[in-house]
Amino acid sequence: MSTAIRSTATPTEFPLPTLTRSARGLVLEGVALADVAAAHGTPTYVYSLAALRAAFNAYRDALAGRRVLVCYAVKANSNLGVLSAFARLGAGFDIVSGGELARVLAAGGEASRVVFSGVGKSVAEMRQALAAGIRCFNVESAAELDRLSAVASGMGKVAPIALRVNPDVDPKTHPYISTGLRSNKFGVAFDEAFALYRRAATLPGLHVAGIGCHIGSQLLDGAPVVEAAEKVLGLVDRLAAEGIVLEHIDLGGGLGIRYRDETPPTVRDYLAPLLALFDGRREELLFEPGRSLVGNAGLLLTRVEYLKPGVEKNFAVVDAAMNDLARPALYDAWHDAVAVAPRPGTAAARYEVVGPICESGDFLAHDRELALAEDDLVALLSAGAYGMTMSSNYNTRPRAAEVIVDGERVHLVRERERVEQLFAGERPLA
């Protein structure tokens, strides 16, 4: 699809930097969102290619002159269109399943630039990754180390490994997305890591290549990451003194974005104190950003089905729901809700923006002042990360379509599911 609409609006306060307002309503890059809805229906996830590129280039510019690999965290948004955009920019990839590895390869990503994280890697996933020739396994337990050694030896392969070390640093973020505390399931306890490295160096089928650390997501303060990195560097130097010399240090991701009124640091400011720790060191650095690359590059476009005035609350019932965007129900997360093209003379009111799912927790936005009429479009902003990847088919609802806007062109990168597809693999009792 191609559209000729051009925006003459100036940049606004929207978190999505390529979103502006014009006489045609909201415009993403050079495309009116109303045209996207007309061509592809709703609900639809809409991403800006320019925003994806700008976010990745912010990392590349901040890391210029360093030996570094930026591995996009696929779990944030695994659409093949998004993955192919980052692959063409030279990204590596951080995966947490065999399915994500298959997606990366289908999108043109290189296995040699893939790191495999996650606490529950199966034998089949290990074999798949070894056969593909990935860059490194981020090992998260002693049991996983033993299993990987046996699998690699059985295949006649050598698995490059890094231990994901849990530094017991509080990232000061939502407890559901904190991963670096002693109480979290992730990683190897810091106090146990040295002994486990010494053991790993003796196991067949393994090559000790690096060390990893990731303390959480939606980080708005870089100080905890620096604290974690300092602990990791102390361990790296202690290992080197024992003859275990590591080739790379993976510092994870986690940089937050603005959803509402947060003030996250710029990529350059976030990385600067980290990079200062590594001046003069030989190890290659790896980073695993996810949300900061895609979060503010996308939105969820939905349509008002009904306006339902109430005694205590007014409801705007839209055709998107918690199955499409789970973050509000799961984390009580905030997403800006913006009327795409308010009709002249429509009075604003305060609405609960809710979906059709049969759950009281099915909400997308609480208590928002919006000028709406039935059949109007609403854009839920900052939905590029953990939107489509966390969606489901609850209430037998087909998942949304996905498109990428590139200037005045619109690329359909995921067709809307059909109901028949949802139960194609099921069988009624004979």
Active site (catalytic) residues? 358
Would the annotation count 147 as a binding residue? no
DSSP 310-331: -SS--EEEES--TTT--HHHHH
Q: Is 345 exposed, middle or buried (0-12, 13-18, 19+ CB in 10 A)?
A: exposed
CB-CB contact of 48 with 312 (8 Å): no
Q: How far apart are CA 197 and CA 364, in angstroms?
A: 46
Distances (CA, A) of 112 to 65, 95, 118: 21, 13, 18
Helices (H) and strands (E) in the chain, counts: 12, 21
Backbone angles phi, psi at 39, to 5 degrees: -85, -35
Would the annotation count 426 as a binding residue? no
Q: Which residues of 123-150 are buried (b: 16+ CB within 10 A; e: fewer)?
A: eebbbbbbebebbbbbbbbeebbebbbe
Tokens of 141: 């337990």
Would the annotation count 290 as a binding residue? yes
Would the annotation count 291 as a binding residue? yes
How many CA atoms are closer than 13 Å to the CA of 142, on its beta-carbon side?
Answer: 10
Strand spans (E) along 52-189? 68-73, 92-95, 114-116, 136-139, 159-166, 188-189
Dihedral sign of CA atoms 33, 293, 384, 134 in order: positive
What are the residues whose beta carbons fall under 8 Å from the beta carbon of 52, sequence distance 6 or more? 82, 85, 86, 293, 294, 297
Would the annotation count 288 as a binding residue? yes
Residue type, 312: E
CB-CB contact of 94 with 117 (8 Å): yes
Please, which residues bridge with residue 287 across strands? 70
Would the annotation count 359 as a binding residue? yes
> Whose CA is closest to 20, among 410, 300, 345, 340?
340
Would the annotation count 351 as a binding residue? no
Q: Which residue has the tokens 């990839």?
A: 93
Residues of each annotated binding site: 254, 288-291, 327, 331, 359, 386
Residue ranges of the binding site for pyridoxal 5'-phosphate: 254, 288-291, 386
